[in-house]
Amino acid sequence: MTSGVSISVAGVGKTFADGTQALRPVSIDVAAGEQLAILGPSGCGKTTLLRIIAGLEHPDRGGAVLFDGRDVTRLPIEKRNVGMVFQSYALFPNMSVIDNVAYGLRVRGMARQARHAEARRVLDMMRLSELSQRRIDQLSGGQRQRVALARALAMKPGVLLLDEPLTALDAALRDELRAEIDALLRSLEITTIYVTHDQAEAMVLGDRVIVMEKGGVAQAGSPRDIYFKPANTFVAGFIGSMNRIDGPITGGMLACPAGHLPVRAADAASASVRFRPESAKLVPAGQGGLTLEIERVHFLGATQRVYLRHAESGLALIVDGNSRLDLVPGTKVGLAVDPSNFIML
């Protein structure tokens, strides 16, 4: 298929007629063929940004959208050759599956036989061939989702834009389709922007992830960077689970009511250190820097999540660890954290 176009979003902001500032001016570059995930809480402007890139919404004055260096800011969506997948799928109820998939080619004026042949090829690729004559209301949610993707791909778009395409599906199907979409997109090398509020989706599908907060970009980076090196407290709190301990640092030691932890940081009267649940280790009480009580244990199969609590100060921490370890709530344990695993913000 076609290789994708590069996208450049330059100083794009959006204030709606009612005064809502949905987007503070943002600038984003997406390389040709890159898979970009946009992640953020509800209302942070993800859909608005995607719709501006698609051409369904105009940016405020001064903002520009470029495809392969060409300014498309004033070009309506029907002239941009973007494929779109909507959360509601937006399949045409008055057409069969194959006519849905062939619709874009029909608009382009391709003859019926040729466009159906092309649509059948895409349906084959998505393993939907048996459904080609079905009506839309005869499809399951997962099938609708795949038809919506097939319809967008049949146009061989340079850009594929997806707005929470899996949100309406149940968890198991979501995992399955996530893997399927990932494999498909990588084989097609289309430039893809994937909007989601699901971290796992963003991490799996994004070569790069942009985390948005309140109409702005909080951080842009690889999934690893976003996870291990969050740029600010918002990203640290939003992605994954995060522990936080507050206290003064003196001589490379952080003091807190539950004990002391060695840190690589300068002295400070008050500081916050953060670490992921999986970067701490449980040790026998008395060993390690901190001593806490096991409050609850959630067995998750491959791992287990241990909720620790320091009764006197109320300090609560979580630790993910080996699920074969048999832990009894109420017992005291020690906690050790390698200083290299601390995230200082």
Partner 1 sequence: MTSATRFSVILILPLTIVVVAFFLLPMAELFARSFVSRNGGITYAEILATPRYLSSLGATLIVAALTTVITLALSTLVGLLLARSRFPGRSLLLAVLTFPLAFPGVVVGFLVILLAGRQGLIGEVTRLATGEKLVFAYSMTGLLVGYLYFSIPRVLLTIVAAAEKLDPALEEAARSLGAGPWRVLSDIILPALRPAMLASGALAFATAMGAFGTAFTLATNIDVLPMVIYTEFTLNANIAMAAALSIVLGLITWLALAIARQASGASVAAAG
Ligand X SMILES: Nc1ncnc2c1ncn2[C@@H]1O[C@H](COP(=O)(O)OP(=O)(O)OP(=O)(O)O)[C@@H](O)[C@H]1O
Residue 78 lies near partner 1 (rule: CB under 8 A): yes
User: Six-digit token pair at 238?
Assistant: 């939003």
Residue 110 lies near partner 1 (rule: CB under 8 A): no
Residue 18 lies near partner 1 (rule: CB under 8 A): no
What residue ranges in the chain does DSSP mark as E strands? 7-15, 21-30, 35-39, 64-67, 70-71, 82-85, 159-163, 191-196, 208-213, 216-221, 243-250, 253-256, 259-262, 268-275, 280-284, 290-299, 303-309, 316-322, 332-337, 343-344
Residue 45 lies near ligand X (rule: CB under 6 A): yes
Residue 47 lies near Mg ion (rule: CB under 5 A): yes
Nearest distance, CB of residue 40 and Mg ion, angstroms: 9
Identify which range of 59-67, 101-109, 290-298, 336-344 contacts partner 1 by CB under 8 A: 101-109
Residue 12 lies near ligand X (rule: CB under 6 A): no
Nearest distance, CB of residue 218 and ligand X, angstroms: 13
Residue 94 lies near partner 1 (rule: CB under 8 A): yes
> Using H for helix, E for strand and C for coil, what is the string for 280-323?
EEEEECCCCCEEEEEEEEEECCCEEEEEEECCCCCCEEEEEEEC
Residue 47 lies near ligand X (rule: CB under 6 A): yes
**Looking at 4, 40, 259, 289, which residue binds ligand X (CB under 6 A)?**
40
Identify which range of 25-33, 37-45, 259-267, 306-314 contacts ligand X by CB under 6 A: 37-45
Q: How distant, in Å, are the alpha carbons of 26, 64, 103, 132, 236 from that of 110?
A: 39, 33, 10, 18, 50
Q: Contacts from 74-80 at CB under 8 Å and sequence distance 24+? A: 79/55, 80/54, 80/55, 80/159
- Give Cα 210 distance to the centre of its chain: 8
Nearer to partner 1, 78 or 338 (CB): 78
**Looking at 5, 35, 46, 59, which residue binds ligand X (CB under 6 A)?**
46
Nearest distance, CB of residue 102 and partner 1, angstroms: 10
- The span from the CA of 53 to the CA of 138, in Å, is 32
Residue 250 lies near partner 1 (rule: CB under 8 A): no
Identify which range of 131-139, 183-191, 275-283, 312-320 contacts partner 1 by CB under 8 A: 131-139
Please say whether the beta carbons of 159 and 83 come within 8 A.
yes
Nearer to partner 1, 148 or 239 (CB): 148
Nearer to partner 1, 81 or 222 (CB): 81
Q: Give the per-residue contact string, 36-55, with partner 1 (x = CB under 8 A; - = no).
A: ------------------x-
Please say whether the beta carbons of 323 and 302 come within 8 A.
yes
- The span from the CA of 275 to the CA of 245, in Å, is 9
**Looking at 7, 82, 119, 218, which residue binds partner 1 (CB under 8 A)?**
82
Collapsing DSSP states into helix, strand and coil, what is residue 109?
Answer: coil
Nearest distance, CB of residue 169 and partner 1, angstroms: 17
Per-residue buried b or exposed e for 236-266, using 16+ beta carbons within 10 Å of the residue's own CB: bebbbebbbbebebeeebbebebbebebeee
Residue 81 lies near partner 1 (rule: CB under 8 A): yes
Residue 142 lies near partner 1 (rule: CB under 8 A): no
Binding positions for Mg ion, rule: CB under 5 A: 47
Binding positions for partner 1, rule: CB under 8 A: 54, 56, 76-79, 81-84, 86, 88, 90-94, 103-104, 107-108, 135-137, 151-152, 155
Binding positions for ligand X, rule: CB under 6 A: 16, 18, 20, 22, 40, 42-48, 197
